[in-house]
Structure 1
């Protein structure tokens, strides 16, 4: 879990550097140069404008539709990631036995531990790095959509429901909903995993707070994207691992 958190942090840093944070206030146009702009940001911006023009200039509805399209497109990656996570969870008892068997810290013992661990992975058909591949593919897409929302200046001039898309929600409703849905999303995704892991528990509460803080200051268009994305992820998680979620909820109720 520590490695997963570190990987996410490194990916966020690399993508931020790659995308050029200095461009966040520059409009995205067909003339925008660079691989990042031409193949990630502009196509997503074009989609937002395309759907808005066919929905009576409703950029709010356009953001919702494009968010659902993107999340649906990467759904197979999420399913693959969940399957690999289940497989890794299933062999945890055997991994723990190996760690106890080779608890000595000397180099030969640790080499033997690594060899038998790899043999266990091969025997069970588990790739410990497979869960990272979907993340590597998702991050540029999601960051690209973030840039598309922030740099499509047409969005700033429109309203949706009670808020201006280009300004923070004046009533803080969207930020709170974004934080709540982030918490629920992480909670259902943790179903069937080691809920006693201190790193996971920490992220469960830190991430929603961070999202609320960002959403309070960022344009409401971005908060809308977070809310829709979270709701979609909650639904897809119930679809992929519904029985595990129900078992976790039942177990939690029994403990109370």
Structure 2
């Protein structure tokens, strides 16, 4: 879990670096050179424009459709992440027993705890880093969206609902929704692992970070994140639905007692 937190901070640092680079001022087009421009930014810009053309020129609707398309492409990866989270949840009692068995904080005991924990993961075919890989995949897409929106004049100058796509949401509604939906999605993904303080911290840390960035970046990026979160919430519900309902029933029963 510590690795996941460090990885998250690392990716956010890269995000800040890339969004602050001078290239953000340069329009993106078919003549733009460089791996980043040719294989990530321009294809996203082209796809958003083509879908908008099919939808009567609405770039807002286009971003929603493109977001869903991207999520569908990433669906097998996200299902794997959800199943990994579910498997980690099932191992919590055994992991807790190991921590109690090797409760001493000396180096030798902690090394033994790590070995036993990794053996437990191996036995059940669980990869503790599997939950990080979707974050790694999504970050270039998120940065690519930022560049595609900011460097494509037609997108940046268009408006949708109450906001302009290329500027911050003037009412701050989208950033708040982005934070709330991120919290719901994280809460559902980590259901049953709340007793782990690091997991509990992650549930709150991600929404706060997303909300902070959403307050400062173009509204189109917040729109992408909100639609993606809603997709993830529905996906998680259908995959983990029985477990979530069982946990909710158990919590209600415990509260009544």
TM-score range, shorter chain: 0.7 to 0.9
Residue in structure 2 matched with residue 21 of structure 1 by the alignment:
21
2:97 aligned with 1:97: yes
Residue 3 (structure 1) shift:
2.5
Distance 1:41 1:163 in 2: 23
Cross-structure match for 1:185: 185
RMSD over aligned CA atoms reads 2.6
**In the alignment, does 2:125 pair up with 1:131?**
no
Report deviation, 1:90: 2.0
Cα pair distance change 1:201/1:217, threshold 3 Å: same
How many aligned residue pairs are there?
255
CA displacement at 1:79 relative to structure 2: 0.9
SS of 1:170's equivalent in the other structure is coil
Aligned equivalents of 2:156, 2:211: Cα separation in 1: 20
Which deviations, in whole Å up to 9, do the C-alpha atoms of 1:139-162 show, x marking residues without a partner?
223322232223222112212123
The 3 A distance-change label for structure 1 pair 135 and 177 is closer
1: CA distance, partners of 2:201 / 2:98: 28
2:126 is the counterpart of 1:140 = no
Change (3 A) 1:112 1:3: same
1:150 aligns with 2:150: yes
Residue 167 (structure 1) aligns with: 167
Asked whether the equivalents of residues 150 and 222 of structure 1 are also in contact (C-alpha less than 8 Å), the reply is no
Tell me, which stretches of 5 or more residues in structure 1 are unaligned? none
* Distance in 1, Cα, partners of 2:139 & 2:176: 24
